[in-house]
Chain A
Amino acid sequence: MRPQPLGTSRVTRTPYLLVAPLTVVLIVFFGIPLVLVVVVSFFDLDKFDIIPTFVLTNYAEVFGSSLTYALYAKTITYALIVWAITLVIGFTVSYFLVFHVRSVLVQMALFLLCTVPFWTSNVIRMISWIPFLGRHGLFNQSLIAVGITDHPLEFLLFSNFSVVIAYVHLFSLFMIVPIFNSMARIDRAVIEAAVDGGASRARVITEIVIPLSKTGIALGSIFVIALVMGDFFVVKIMSGGQSSSVVAAMSNEIAILQYPPAAANAVCLLIIVMLMVAAIMRLVDVRRELSG
């Protein structure tokens, strides 16, 4: 855009003045804290006091413990399973809304129906699974009533299963919204041309819909993977203490004021998440999608 010619100094200054508040808030509450976490990861610890110095003992502890590798393996496994499930849900739901719902009004209404839970409390949505999946929960009772089983299934709650269910429940919206967004922008003429040219439904999906919604898929994948990798509360509550994650372990360290080891752990986690995000961004130019 060409702003109105007002005198060059003003024209060039305007965007900087407009973006300054955002930049300041992000630097103060995101940039500086991030740097501090990195700095503290090299500090020493004397019982509960942080000693400003430069040591590598925190990292030595992180890499020296077999628990670390088990935690990362567990967390990454959760992330990949949840990513795969939310991807299937996100793609299918968006595909239905975009290509099968004819009225725009109905489409918007159904889309909103999917997004409303996003604006309510995550903790409440998570604990709402407990009466549902428990030993005497609704699900077990209906299974017994229908006669599928005669004793309640134990693996439903406080297990890997319930952790994954809660993740999918909380985070699938982050996959649906970006995929829906990019799918809705696909030009229908392209698809009609393909159909007229004799393309099957499957070929339309694999050769038109998937490539043209890949930025949405990438963005949704970044959100879901980052959210699962950074979670601590779902795994704490829904596994009933039987499973853990990197950040859950970290939150235990923080609770007993072991900041330097927690910070070293945080730095390792951030590097891994950044590598995963960078890998996705390499495949797809996400920025073009976001800034229009």
Chain B
Amino acid sequence: MTARSSNGRPWTFYALAAFFTLFVLFLYGPMSAIFILSFQGPTGGLTFPMNGVSLHWFKALVVQQRSGDFVGSFSRSIVLAIIVLAITVVISIMAGLAFRYRFRGATAVFYMAIASLIMPGLLLGLGVGLMFQFAHVSPAWFSSALGAQLTWTLPFGLLIMFAVFSRFNRAYEEAARDLGASPWQTLRLVVLPILLPGIIGVALFGFTLSYDEFPRTLIPIGSRNTLPLEIWAMTTDVTSPALYALGTLTTAVSFVVIAVALTSIAVIQRRRARRQRDRTPGPLGDA
């Protein structure tokens, strides 16, 4: 539109670019404050100014008992996130494939997934907790908390699979079938490789949403906390920069996971683009 009609940028471009920049500052600014504060000196407090620079509070996480069970909750969170990732990827792909057919109950399953997504987390946790209480099963991070987290990651996975399949070119599938591939071969050798970037996206959501989840996990967690619950407990009773050190660490883990996922998607896309160039032009696959 206006941006294309002339060579120069219209004034609205600069106004909107300024708005966007402010928004990005708003997103990242406060986070950077706690990253800096986590390197407070041993006598430093929860706010600026910095009283020296040190790794004191990071060491305190591992050593100090009153910061809680950091190592245990951290490893539990990682293991749980990997389990949630695996289940979310498999079930979302299957459900995504299912929704390409017309079947009875499709609308009902779809609305149940959306309802599960927008259900207030604490209420869902309450329900799951009650279910385990009535069944006389003690809640634990690998059972009740796992299930509660899946009600949050699976709908996201399903929505991403919808987006992925809506851009999927059926011609590849038909070609494979015409060449005599079995349905399973078509899926494994043609469909899944083409969808791989989207599947990595589902995995990224599965991992990070589980790793940071806490309203749904709070009630059905059982006796051993995950990391976000440990942090939640700290927000109310720890008044040292150890809290920020923990925040910096957990955000760093998230950033590593995000970087790995996005880099692998970028590598796949680039390799694909290169192959596309090397060959005669054919029908384009999904992006």
A positions within 8 Å CB-CB of B: 1, 3-4, 6, 12, 14-19, 21-23, 25-34, 36-37, 40, 89, 92-93, 95-97, 99-100, 102, 110, 112-114, 116-117, 119-125, 127-132, 134, 136-138, 141, 169, 172, 181, 188, 191-192, 195, 201, 204, 222-223, 226-227, 229-233, 237, 247, 250-251, 254, 259, 262-263, 266, 269-270, 273, 277, 287, 290-292
What residues of chain B have their CB less than 8 Å away from a CB belonging to chain A? 1-5, 9, 12-13, 16-17, 19-20, 23-24, 26-31, 33-34, 37, 46-48, 90-92, 94-95, 97-103, 105-107, 109-110, 112-116, 118-124, 126-128, 130-131, 134, 147-148, 150-151, 154, 158-159, 162-163, 165-166, 170, 177, 183, 204-205, 208-209, 212, 214-215, 219, 228, 231-232, 235-236, 243, 247, 250-251, 254-255, 257-258, 262
Find chain B residues with CB under 8 A from A227 CB: 118
Q: In the complex the two chains form, what is the Cα distance from A134 to B228 in whole Å?
A: 23
Per the bound structure, the CA–CA distance linking A77 and B262 in Å amounts to 38
Other-chain residue from B5, B110, B127, B163 in contact with A33 (beta carbon distance below 8 A):
B127
- A30 near B231 with CB under 8 A, answer no
Contact, CB under 8 Å: B130 / A113: no
Chain A residues with CB below 8 A from B163, complex form: 181, 292
Tell which of A96, A172, A222 touches B118, judged by Cβ atoms closer than 8 Å. A222
28 contacts between A and B (CB under 8 A): A6-B183, A15-B103, A16-B103, A17-B98, A19-B106, A22-B94, A22-B98, A25-B151, A33-B127, A36-B127, A36-B131, A37-B123, A37-B130, A92-B16, A93-B23, A97-B20, A113-B24, A117-B28, A127-B243, A129-B30, A131-B46, A132-B33, A226-B120, A227-B118, A230-B118, A247-B120, A292-B163, A292-B165
Query: Contact between A230 and B46 (Cβ–Cβ < 8 Å)?
Result: no
A121 and B228 form a contact (CB under 8 A): yes
Given contacts A36-B131, A119-B258, A120-B255, contact A100 B13 (CB under 8 A): yes
- Given A18-B94, A233-B215, A128-B126 contact (CB < 8 Å): no
Residue with the highest number of chain A CB atoms closer than 10 Å, among B13, B34, B183: B34
The smallest beta-carbon distance between B77 and chain A, in angstroms, is: 10
Starting from the known contacts A15-B97, A247-B120, A290-B159, 12 additional A-B residue pairs (CB-CB under 8 Å) come to: A15-B102, A18-B97, A30-B115, A120-B255, A121-B228, A138-B33, A195-B1, A195-B2, A195-B5, A247-B123, A259-B126, A290-B162
CB of A226 within 8 A of CB of B118, answer yes
Expressed in whole angstroms, the Cα–Cα distance for A134 and B106 within the complex equals: 50
Q: Main SS of the interface on chain B?
A: helix
Minimum CB–CB distance for A62 against chain B, Å: 14
Assembly CA distance A233 to B17 (angstroms): 33
Given that A124-B251, A131-B37 are known contacts, is A100 also in contact with B12, CB under 8 Å in the complex?
Answer: yes
Most buried by B among A96, A102, A113, A287: A96
Task: Quote the shortest CB–CB distance from B201 to chain A (angstroms).
Answer: 11
* Nearest residue, chain A, Cβ from B5: A195
Closest beta carbon of chain A to B95's beta carbon, Å: 4
Residues on B with C-beta less than 8 A from A226 are 118-120
A128 touches B31 (CB 8 A): yes
Q: In the complex, A229→B120 CA distance in Å? A: 8
User: Chain A residues with Cβ under 8 A from B119's Cβ?
Assistant: 30, 34, 226, 230, 270
Determine the main DSSP class of A at the interface with B. Answer: helix
Per the bound structure, the CA–CA distance linking A246 and B210 in Å amounts to 25
Q: Are A131 and B3 in contact (CB under 8 A)?
A: no
A-B complex: 6 closest residue pairs judged by Cβ atoms: A33-B127, A230-B120, A292-B166, A18-B98, A19-B98, A226-B118
Q: Could you tell me the distance in whole angstroms from the C-beta of A178 to the nearest C-beta in chain B?
A: 10
B231 contact set on A, CB distance < 8 A: 121, 123-124
CB distance from B267 to the nearest CB of A (A): 15
Between B105, B107, B254, the greatest number of chain A beta carbons within 10 A of the residue's beta carbon is seen for B254
Chain B residues, Cβ within 8 Å of A12: 103
Question: Contact between A291 and B16 (Cβ–Cβ < 8 Å)?
Answer: no
- Alpha-carbon distance between A110 and B134 when the two chains are bound, in angstroms: 49
In the assembled complex, the Cα of A225 lies from the Cα of B243 at a distance in Å of: 30
The docked-state distance in angstroms from the alpha carbon of A270 to that of B126 is 13
With A and B bound together, what is the CA distance between A232 and B34 in angstroms?
Answer: 22
Q: Which residues of B contact A262 (CB under 8 A)?
A: 126
Contact in complex: B250, A121 (CB < 8 Å): yes
From A25, A110, A123, contact of B228 by CB (8 A): A123
Q: Which residues of B contact A3 (CB under 8 A)?
A: 101
Q: Is the CB of B48 within 8 A of A122?
A: no
Q: Is the CB of B228 within 8 A of A22?
A: no
